[in-house]
């Protein structure tokens, strides 16, 4: 695969732009026999085996990824939309190549796997793998998502029981149930859901006579938000991270 095509596939611009980066000496490649000393290449048509390749573009290290899988610690006051209406988009927290990765001939970039409300914080996954998005978002796969809710009024056993038994929301006569629910403290509820509806946690708590004051998603499947990933920060998902997700998402 030509070096300019590799950079194009990773979101560094059109093939002409990528060729220009290479010709200007702004691209270095980590060769297997020289892993600590990247080599500068100035010929855009230089051939490489893309799988497992690492390179440096304008001083920043990048791994080649056929598909991008990321986790983001979503901060409050951000929207999970490419075209936000009020608050900044979560996509502004990502570097340009991740926002510009091409898909089927068009620049689409990575997409959020589901959405969190603008005031909700926590674990958010992003990818350009459509099958991965569908598998984690489809209610038939029952992927558990764990939320930490701080509530206005003291919790009691009746509220917890009702959330597990099921509550009716105003737009659906079918009861919505929590897969698990525990009162961590008088004003801290840990709720596990396997489906996603608009403002679901907030509406479920309202249905039992309480109110969500703050909401945080701490886990998707068996993958927990790392303690060392600060709000607004992102990182690539490791093979171990993907294994934790796939173990609870019906992946084969």
- Identify the band that residue 133 occupies on the pLDDT scale cut at 50, 70 and 90: very high
- The answer on pLDDT for 250 being more than 80 is no
**Reduced to 3 states, what is the DSSP secondary structure of residue 99?**
helix
At 97 the pLDDT is 96
Whole-number pLDDT of residue 200 = 92
> Among 30-39, 213-222, 234-243, which stretch is predicted with the lowest mean pLDDT?
30-39
169-194: average pLDDT:
92
| pLDDT at 132 > cutoff 90 | yes
**Do residues 52 and 6 lie in contact, with contact meaning Cβ atoms separated by under 8 Å?**
no
pLDDT score recorded for residue 107: 61
Across all residues in the chain, what is the average pLDDT? 93
Distance from C-alpha of 87 to C-alpha of 89, rounded to nearest angstrom: 7
Helix (H) or strand (E) holding 27: strand 27-31
pLDDT tens digits, one per residue of 87-125: 999 999 999 999 999 987 666 899 999 999 999 999 999
Whether the pLDDT of residue 80 is over 70: the answer is yes
Q: Which domains does the chain have, with CATH numbers?
A: 3-63 (3.10.290.10), 69-139+223-246 (3.30.70.580), 144-220 (3.30.70.1560)
Q: Residue 88 in contact with residue 80, Cβ under 8 Å?
A: no
Q: Beta strands 121-127 and 212-220: pairing type? A: parallel
pLDDT value, residue 3:
97
What is the tens place of the pLDDT at every residue in 136-152?
A: 988 788 899 999 999 99
d(CA 28, CA 11): 16
User: 29: which strand partners?
Assistant: 39, 55
Instruction: Tell me what pLDDT residue 141 has.
Output: 82
Is there a catalytic annotation at residue 117? yes
**Predicted structure pTM score:** 0.92
Compute the average pLDDT of residues 183-196: 95
Name the active-site residue from 5, 61, 66, 117.
117
Take residue 55 and report the two structure tokens written for it: 């390179």
Q: Is the pLDDT of residue 252 over 60?
A: no
């Amino acid at each position: 695969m030509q070096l300019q095509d590799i950079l194009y596939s990773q979101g560094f611009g059109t093939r002409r732009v990528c060729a220009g980066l290479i010709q200007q000496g702004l691209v270095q490649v980590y060769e297997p026999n020289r892993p600590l000393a990247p080599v500068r290449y100035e010929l855009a048509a230089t051939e490489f085996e893309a799988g497992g390749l690492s390179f440096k573009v304008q001083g920043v290290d990048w791994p080649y990824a056929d598909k991008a899988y990321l986790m983001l610690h979503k901060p409050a006051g951000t929207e999970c939309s490419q075209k936000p209406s009020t608050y900044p988009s979560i996509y502004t927290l990502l570097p340009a190549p991740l926002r510009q990765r091409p898909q089927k001939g068009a620049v689409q970039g990575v997409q959020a796997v589901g959405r969190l409300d603008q005031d909700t914080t926590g674990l958010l996954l992003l990818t350009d793998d459509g099958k991965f998005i569908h598998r984690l978002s489809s209610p038939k796969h029952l992927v558990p998502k764990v939320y930490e809710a701080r509530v206005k009024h003291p919790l009691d056993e009746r509220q917890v029981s009702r959330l597990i038994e099921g509550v009716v929301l105003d737009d659906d006569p079918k009861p919505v149930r929590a897969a698990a629910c525990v009162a961590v403290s008088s004003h801290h509820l840990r709720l596990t859901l396997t489906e996603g509806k608009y403002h679901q946690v907030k509406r479920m708590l309202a249905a039992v006579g309480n109110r969500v004051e703050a909401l945080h998603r701490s886990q998707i499947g068996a993958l927990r938000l790392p303690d060392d990933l600060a709000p607004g920060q992102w990182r690539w998902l490791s093979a171990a991270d993907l294994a934790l997700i796939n173990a609870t998402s019906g992946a084969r």
